[in-house]
Structure 1
Amino acid sequence: MRLGLATPVVIQIPGVASSWEAAAGVDDLAQIAALADRLGFTHLTCSEHVAVPAHAAPGRGTTYWDPLATLAFLAGRTSQIRLVTSVVVLGYHHPLEIAKRYGTLDRLSGGRLILGVGVGSLREEFDLLGSAWDDRGARADDSLTALRAALSQTRPVYHGSHYQFADMVVEPCAVQSRVPIWVGGHTRRSLRRAMQLGDGWTPFGLSVATLTEYLGAVDLPEGFAVALSTPPLDPIGSPQQTLDRLGRLVDLGATEVNASIAAHSAAHYQDQLRALAELADPSYREGR
């Protein structure tokens, strides 16, 4: 299991985010990211929502920093930790737009991008952006295939059901020969899509029973990533509960963990981060 972070501040979901995050500044975010990098955490995440319908705010929250701007900023404050979009909504963008924007991020970060993508679930947001809702699944499948053809190519060629391109130059492109693509979602279809077209699955909003059912019904490809999320962890106050929660995710099949951390300030978050790193790997040394 590799231990990453559901980055605080940049996504504030009710019941998960701590109260200090609402007033946190850019310096707080930069210090946390730099510390996570030094401690050996594997990745940071950032999600995409352009605008959240007011009726959805109680469950989803309203704070979603733009993933491209945020992860580019964090790339400049870190050196090793990977940068995960969790997730970019495929239907909001042409595949070559994603390839250019996030290929540039991959180059700026020295090949640290993991491209998390999803089909999307807010019709109001689709309508706002003029994106197609009814066939978004088929479009997402075609977009994923197009992205695989385009992300690491300066002269990509693709002819699919919804997207076609040739005789176009995309420079810069990603420096990784194969950018890992994780597919998000909460349905069996999202897991099948991830297995067929991606390199990993990053589900959300699923119970332990449902995760067990979904993952138990498939044979995952070798090297396939399963990125599962934790509830807010308290490694200082409840170390054994923290270890138990991480262990349960491993038992479910997690290869990656998006850890949320409970804290009452940015300084306390950093203390919790150190404690979590030591729990996960007692031999760790900051700055190693």
Structure 2
Amino acid sequence: MKLGIVSPVVTANPGAHGDWEASADIEELGRIAEAADRLGFDHMTCSEHVAVPTEIAQQRGATYWDPLPTFGYLAARTTRLRLLTQVLVIGYHHPLEIAKRYGTLDRISGGRLMLGIGVGSLEEEFELLGAEFAGRGAIADDALAALRACWGRREPEYHGPHFDISGFIVEPHGVQARVPMLIGGRTPRSLRRAVELGTGWVPFGLSLDQLRDMLATRELPEDFEVILSTGRLLDPSADPEAAVERLRRVRAAGATLLTTTVQAESAEHYCEQLEALAVLARDLD
């Protein structure tokens, strides 16, 4: 069973992080990444928000480290761990901006990038950044097609309803011939978008029953990834039975990769929990 990690420190969503994270910094995160790398975890995550409205921060959290510099640092401290943007809001970027900036990250990490991409739902942030909120779904579809066409190409070319690209050089660019593009969302349309334009789906905010039912409505392509979160803090050291049961339930809902969160009181304790979780995962294979 392949497990990833919802990175601590880089976000502070209410009820989903430990008190110790408020005073932690990049060094603690780096030690956790090194432990995850050594223990064989598949990936770590980092979300994107530029600025969260004050009145919404209580529900969504206000801490969001930028994925690009965060992953650049973690790439230098790891050798195998993949780096998953969960998620970039594609409406905030031109497709070539992603192809260049994250293509550079793909290169310096040795092809370990996973692009989790979402359409976005925070209208105030769209307005702040001068991005178009109305019609964002159709724009996102075209941007995803453009990104796929342009990824890893020195002289990209794409002609679509919202993006028309030719006559430019992008150097450096991504080294993966087909970078994983995992579409975020919680609606049937997001799953449709993932099947048609991505290589996988990374949903949020749905129960396991809802996820299982929604996945049953689509015939998924071969090698299509479904990355599901365990949804609750696991305590593999103190309560391994509950951790195992949760892992099994999430896998049974249709996950091909699981992204986990663990209870911890410090960065050192977090690494100890990862050790215990890695043992449980091996026993479940």
Residue 233 (1) aligns with residue 218 (2)? no
Whichever residue aligns with residue 241 of structure 1, its letter is: A
Structure 2 counterpart of 1:169 = 169
* Contact 2:4–2:41 (Cα < 8 Å) also in 1: yes
Superposed, which structure 2 residues align to 1:1-288 within 5 Å? 1-230=1-230, 231-282=232-283
Q: Which moved more, 1:225-234 or 1:275-284?
A: 275-284
* Contact 2:2–2:281 (Cα < 8 Å) also in 1: no
The alignment partner of 2:262 has SS state of: coil
Give the superposition deviation at 1:283: 11
Give the superposition deviation at 1:208: 1.8
Whichever residue aligns with residue 218 of structure 1, its letter is: R
User: For the residues of structure 1 that align with 2:284 and 2:85, how far apart are their CA atoms?
Assistant: 30
Q: Which runs of 5+ in 2 are unaligned?
A: none
* Contact 2:209–2:253 (Cα < 8 Å) also in 1: no
Q: Which runs of 5+ in 1 are unaligned?
A: none
User: For the residues of structure 1 that align with 2:18 and 2:228, how far apart are their CA atoms?
Assistant: 20
The alignment partner of 2:115 has SS state of: strand
CA shift digits 1:32-75 (9 cap, x unpaired): 00000000000011000000111211221011000001011100
Give the superposition deviation at 1:209: 2.3
Give the superposition deviation at 1:261: 0.9
CA shift digits 1:147-167 (9 cap, x unpaired): 001111010000001001101
Give the superposition deviation at 1:219: 1.3
Whichever residue aligns with residue 84 of structure 2, its letter is: V
The alignment partner of 1:64 has SS state of: coil
User: For the residues of structure 2 that align with 1:275 and 1:182, how far apart are their CA atoms?
Assistant: 28
CA shift digits 1:242-261 (9 cap, x unpaired): 00000001100100111011
User: For the residues of structure 2 that align with 1:130 and 1:270, how far apart are their CA atoms?
Assistant: 41
Give the superposition deviation at 1:30: 0.5
Aligned residues: 284
**RMSD of aligned alpha carbons:** 1.2
User: For the residues of structure 2 that align with 1:114 and 1:223, how far apart are their CA atoms?
Assistant: 15
CA shift digits 1:254-279 (9 cap, x unpaired): 00111011111111111101000011
Q: Percent identity?
A: 56
Give the superposition deviation at 1:27: 1.2
User: For the residues of structure 2 that align with 1:171 and 1:15, how far apart are their CA atoms?
Assistant: 42
Which runs of 4 or more aligned residues in structure 1 lie more than 6 Å from their structure 2 counterparts after TM superposition? none
The alignment partner of 1:11 has SS state of: coil
User: For the residues of structure 2 that align with 1:82 and 1:227, how far apart are their CA atoms?
Assistant: 13
* Contact 2:91–2:139 (Cα < 8 Å) also in 1: yes
* Contact 2:84–2:115 (Cα < 8 Å) also in 1: yes
